[in-house]
Amino acid sequence: MSYLIDRRANAKNKNMVNRRRFMDRYKRHIKKAVEQAVDERSITDMERGEDVNIPAPDVSEPVFSHGSGGKRTIVHPGNREFVAGDRVPRPPGGQGGGSGEGEASNQGEGDDDFVFQLTSDEFMEVLFEDLELPNLTKRHLKGTNSFKYEHAGFTNDGVPAKISIPRTMRASKMRHVALNSRRKRERAALREALLAAQHSGDELTLRRIGRQLEELEKRIRRVAFLDDNDLRYNLHVQKPVPTSQAVMFCLMDVSGSMDQSIKDMAKRFYLLLYLFLKRHYERTEIVFIRHHTVAKEVDEQEFFYSRETGGTVVSSALKMMRDIMEERYSADQWNIYGAQASDGDNWNDDSPLCGKILTENILPNVQHFSYVEITQRSHQALWQEYAKLEESFPGVFAQQHIRAVGDIFPVFRQLFHKRLAA
């Protein structure tokens, strides 16, 4: 009985590498499916994976095949129809034994598309690819709570799990060379003398050299293959990682003019922002502020699911953001961001006050502030007031318009796409 043993190198996580190559190859289909899923999902179902349909022609591989005509020699397996010397007729053109791949059928059957399933992590990775917080700087370096291990050479003491086999074997080899090099030279000289004594027939010299060689071989073998002094261990040391701390203020209008569809689109935008921050920025704090005539700082659950409503005074949310910044988030230690969503409806006398608070208290101290107006109507006084800020604070203030659910993700990417460093 014979056994076949496959000794080919097979790296760890080979399937993961192949999966990554496949995703890179069909990136266009995957991104399209992810963007479509964002528009169709509910806000409570955003973090699950997704099935990606890739058309069958796109996953087909190029193949070599014999063309029509020519002279070929083919070895057929045994059969009951033909014997040696028979001529096998050539199939008529267009009537080969193919499966008819991709052809129409009166039975309504055809080739299925290839279905590729994204995990939730892969879905989020594709969703937030090439996005970042604008103008993020390390205003406050923190090294007390974040560490990483770095290789710092080798040591003679350690745990077995960290032993360095190459370094250990090298030390063992060096010790063998240092202890046995002179003895091996002596052994080579004795062997030459032994050959000379054999040629001369000197029995006395032969016995004496034989005893010396035997003693020398014992001394060489006494050198242990591995000694405690040969052991080398990988040395890893903890180094503090300087990290920047940031805070994101989420300001959402929940007044009576914001109907349920507009609130749902605002929540979709903020949910994308929330997932993006939690995935990419572990040390980013989030402050949720809801407002109608008065503003209120709330937690995540109340921000997304509370049904509270009322009139509209936008400046109340900006005042609360200003007060929280002064109390808890110093501009010289924190990277401060703000995102505001509203339908643009506001008291006319309040819109200039909003512009004043942003100009004097907020925009000079933040890295970036985004305003998203969700409405199908024409812009009102609040949008016009904010348009002046976009001209006065380029790169810091940005405003976008959302009309339908399909605009949410493109607007989100426009606000947080990666920018070239200045």
pLDDT tens per residue, range 79-130: 777 777 778 777 666 544 444 444 444 444 445 566 767 777 777 777 777 7
How far apart, in whole angstroms, are the C-alpha atoms of residue 401 and residue 374?
Answer: 6
> Residues of 355-393 as b/e, b for ≥16 C-beta within 10 angstroms?
bebbeebbbeebbbbbbbbbbeeeebbbbebbeebeeeb
Distance CA 301, CA 40 (A): 22
- Report the alpha-carbon distance of residue 31 to residue 126 in Å, rounded: 7
Q: What is the pLDDT of residue 222?
A: 87
Contact 273, 235 (CB under 8 A): no
According to the model, what pLDDT value does residue 96 have? 45
φ/ψ (deg, to 5) at 300: -60, -45
Q: 273: how many CB neighbours lie within 10 A of its CB?
A: 21
- For residue 213, how many other CB atoms are within 10 A of its CB? 16
3-state secondary structure of 358: helix
What are the Cα distances from residue 160, in Å, to 148, 165, 166, 173, 231?
21, 10, 14, 20, 10
Confirm if 408 and 265 have CB atoms less than 8 A apart: yes
The pair phi, psi for residue 51, each rounded to 5°, is: -90, 125
pLDDT at residue 8, as a whole number: 56
Which residues pair with residue 234 across a beta bridge? Answer: 154
CATH of 246-416, one of 3.40.640.10, 3.40.50.410, 3.10.100.10, 3.40.50.150: 3.40.50.410
CA distances from 252 to 246, 342, 401 (A): 20, 6, 15
User: What are the residues facing 288 on neighbouring strands?
Assistant: 250, 298
Which amino acid, residue 58? D
For 124, phi then psi, to 5°, come to -65, -35
Write out the two tokens for 216: 């020398």
Phi, psi of 236 (to 5 degrees): -120, 135
Find where tokens 């129809």 sit: 81
Q: Which residues of the chain have a pLDDT value below 70?
A: 1-17, 26, 39-63, 65-70, 72, 75-78, 91-114, 116, 135-146, 241-244, 282, 419-422
Q: Tokens 């808890």 — which residue?
A: 328
Nearest alpha-carbon partner for 167 in 155, 180, 152: 155
How many residues appear in the chain? 422
Q: Which among 400, 401, 383, 367 is positioned nearest to 248, based on CA atoms?
A: 367
H or E stretch at 315 = helix 315-328
Can you give the pLDDT at residue 340? 92
SS3 346: coil
Q: Which two tokens stand for residue 356?
A: 């004043």
> What pLDDT is stored for residue 57 in this prediction?
59
- Measured CA to CA in angstroms, residue 247 lies from 40, 250, 333 at distances of 30, 10, 11
Per-residue tokens: 199: 């040629």
Domain boundaries, the chain: 165-231, 246-416
Collect all residues with Cβ–Cβ distance below 8 Å to 65 and sequence separation of at least 6. Answer: none
Nearest residue to 366 via CA among 169, 136, 103? 136
